[in-house]
């Protein structure tokens, strides 16, 4: 018991008030994001007509396309700017855009083209915030507590998904799709206020007067010049092509395979997020990792096995268990890799590095979503599950043979 109490007292969230503020703000806004994604998926599947599966794939692709188009440039901007101001600007812009989307829906003027356009704009500010946030973790904590802080930070999305998924169907039943949009706008406003309270200086390091273009090239040169790091990023990107569509397939399983209500969509996504949040939260108390590549291999193998089990599962509770396992494996793999990146990447280029990482990881998703939507229409949801899980299982062994990034044994 004393060990648990001591671990809690020495946790980064207890030790660093500004890190705690950023964690709280991100969590609230991410809960709103989850309400938003559930509402969007159900609205498209219910209103998209005979091609609803394709439209869902398209809208999810639209949500990640700005990351691909603008990510590296926004990462450079984050490195050159005061990161606190960058995060505030991103939150303010997203709050205004989501509020506009809610107003259009309430007035009955929301169409699919308008939805595509506004979702593209909203998502465009995501990489700006995330790059600045990722580059701020070390400054808001310490080198000794950085691995735990990274694990805690990586649990935010999963923790918010648990809360958002669990309450999403309740919110939609009470306030409808527009209510979910309004809650998301309020979440961005709450995040704005939390970031506003940060007092740690987050201004960029002193620079030599180099231009935006020069610093953009410097960031790319660092990544391209570090072959093991580049190979690890590309491997992560390849797996993302086959793992990413799970968020598209879950609503399809509910709507077309099980023919269930939106409540089960919320239940399934809750279990998926809960597994990821549980593992990431547990790792936030772990001071270091041993063989990072071993963790990566084991997590991907577990994801493929759990994902493949969905092909055979017809019982809703079995689906819950499999999604929990898949989420847990993903949470562990993400936390370990992000800790490695935070350890080896210099602070001066972290914004650019994480923007490129996010860009490459997301670059495959629009194509993955559209291909999944088309294959689901042409064949079946089960066919897509079998294809993706088989690919993940086969490709997981890449983690055992790719070049190693040099890192301290305690990372």
CA-based nearest residue to 279, from 361, 336, 322: 336
Residues present in the chain in total:
411
Distance (Å, rounded) from C-alpha 316 to C-alpha 125? Answer: 36
- Other beta carbons within 10 angstroms of residue 301's beta carbon come to 16
Predicted confidence at residue 69, as pLDDT, reads 72
Start-to-end CA span in the chain (Å): 27
| Helix-, strand-, coil-residue percentages of the chain, each rounded to 5 | 85, 0, 15
Q: How far apart, in Å, are the Cα atoms of 156 and each of 182, 197, 280?
A: 21, 19, 9
- What crossing angle do the helices spanning 316-344 and 146-196 adopt, rounded to 10°? 100
Is 240 within the bounds of a domain? yes
DSSP state of 258: S
Predicted confidence at residue 50, as pLDDT, reads 64
- Show the tokens assigned to 352: 């650019």
Is 405 within the bounds of a domain? no
Is 206 within the bounds of a domain? no
- Other beta carbons within 10 angstroms of residue 169's beta carbon come to 20
- Which pTM does this prediction carry? 0.62
Predicted confidence at residue 141, as pLDDT, reads 84
Is 207 within the bounds of a domain? no
The alpha carbon of 399 is separated from its chain's Cα centroid by a whole number of angstroms, namely: 21
CB contact at 8 A, 331 and 155: yes
Predicted confidence at residue 192, as pLDDT, reads 92
Tens digit of pLDDT per residue, the chain (411 long)?
A: 555 555 567 778 888 888 888 888 877 777 777 777 777 777 777 765 666 667 777 777 677 777 767 766 766 777 777 888 888 988 899 889 989 888 888 888 888 788 888 888 888 787 778 778 877 887 888 877 777 777 677 666 666 666 666 666 666 666 777 777 888 888 888 889 999 998 888 887 655 455 656 766 776 777 777 888 888 888 888 888 888 888 778 888 887 778 777 678 777 877 887 787 777 667 666 666 667 788 888 888 998 898 888 888 878 888 889 999 988 888 787 777 777 787 777 777 776 777 777 777 777 777 787 788 788 888 888 888 889 889 888 888 888 888 887 765 445
Q: At 111, phi and psi to the nearest 5? A: -120, 165
What per-residue string of b and e applies to 93-120 under the rule 16 or more CB within 10 Å gives b?
A: bbbebbbbbbebbeeeebeeeebbebbb
Distance (Å, rounded) from C-alpha 299 to C-alpha 280? Answer: 12
Quick one: which H or E segment has residue 65?
helix 52-80
Residue 11's domain comprises: 2-199+212-400
Distance (Å, rounded) from C-alpha 323 to C-alpha 276? Answer: 10
- Give me the residue label for tokens 């998924």: 165
- Other beta carbons within 10 angstroms of residue 205's beta carbon come to 8
CATH code (residue 254)? 1.20.1250.20
Is 347 within the bounds of a domain? yes
Could you tell me which residues come within 8 angstroms of residue 117 by beta carbon, excluding any fewer than 6 positions away?
Answer: none
Work out the angle at residue 389's Cα, subtended by the Cα atoms of residues 388 and 395, and round it to the nearest 5 degrees: 90
What per-residue string of b and e applies to 311-332 under the rule 16 or more CB within 10 Å gives b?
A: bebeeeeebbebbbbbbbbbbb
Predicted confidence at residue 278, as pLDDT, reads 76
Distance (Å, rounded) from C-alpha 333 to C-alpha 280? Answer: 9
Distance (Å, rounded) from C-alpha 74 to C-alpha 131? Answer: 8
- What crossing angle do the helices spanning 350-363 and 212-225 adopt, rounded to 10°? 70
Could you tell me which residues come within 8 angstroms of residue 195 by beta carbon, excluding any fewer than 6 positions away?
Answer: 21, 22, 25, 84, 87, 88, 91
Is 33 within the bounds of a domain? yes
Is 410 within the bounds of a domain? no
Three-class secondary structure of residue 381 per DSSP: helix
Is 407 within the bounds of a domain? no
For the chain, how many structural domains are there in total?
Answer: 1
Predicted confidence at residue 167, as pLDDT, reads 66
């Amino acid at each position: 018991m004393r060990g648990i109490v001591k671990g809690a007292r020495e946790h980064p969230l207890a030790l660093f008030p500004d890190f705690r503020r950023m964690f709280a703000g991100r969590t609230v806004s991410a809960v709103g994001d989850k309400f938003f994604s559930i509402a969007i998926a159900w609205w498209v599947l219910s209103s998209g007509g005979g091609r609803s599966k394709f439209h869902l794939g398209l809208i999810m692709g639209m949500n990640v396309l700005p990351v691909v188009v603008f990510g590296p440039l926004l990462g450079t901007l984050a490195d050159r700017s005061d990161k606190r101001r960058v995060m505030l600007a991103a939150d303010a812009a997203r709050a205004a855009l989501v509020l506009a989307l809610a107003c259009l829906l309430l007035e009955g003027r929301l169409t699919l083209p308008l939805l595509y356009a506004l979702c593209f704009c909203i998502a465009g500010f995501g990489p700006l915030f995330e790059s600045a946030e990722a580059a701020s973790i070390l400054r808001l904590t310490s080198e000794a507590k950085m691995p735990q802080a990274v694990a805690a930070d990586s649990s935010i999305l999963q923790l918010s998904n648990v809360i958002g998924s669990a309450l999403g169907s309740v919110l939609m039943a009470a306030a409808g799709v527009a209510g979910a949009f309004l809650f998301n706008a309020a979440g961005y406003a709450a995040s704005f206020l939390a970031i506003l309270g940060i007092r740690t200086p987050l201004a960029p390091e002193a620079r030599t007067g180099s231009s935006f273009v020069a610093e953009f090239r410097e960031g790319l040169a660092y990544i391209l010049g570090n072959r093991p790091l580049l190979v690890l990023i590309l491997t992560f990107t390849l797996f993302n092509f086959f793992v990413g569509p799970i968020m598209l397939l879950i609503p399809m399983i509910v709507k077309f395979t099980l023919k269930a209500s939106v409540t089960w969509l919320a239940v399934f996504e809750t279990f998926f997020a809960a597994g990821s949040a549980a593992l990431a939260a547990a790792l936030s108390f772990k001071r270091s990792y041993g063989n990072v590549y071993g963790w990566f291999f084991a997590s991907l193998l577990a994801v493929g096995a759990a994902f493949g089990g969905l092909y055979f599962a017809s019982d809703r509770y079995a689906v819950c268990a499999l999604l929990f396992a898949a989420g847990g494996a993903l949470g562990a793999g993400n936390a370990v890799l992000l800790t490695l990146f935070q350890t080896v990447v210099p602070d001066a280029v972290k914004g650019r590095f994480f923007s490129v990482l996010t860009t490459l990881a997301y670059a495959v998703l629009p194509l993955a979503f559209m291909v999944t939507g088309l294959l689901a229409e042409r064949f079946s949801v089960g066919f897509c599950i079998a294809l993706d899980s088989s690919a993940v299982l086969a490709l997981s062994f890449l983690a055992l043979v790719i070049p190693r990034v040099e890192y301290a044994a305690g990372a």
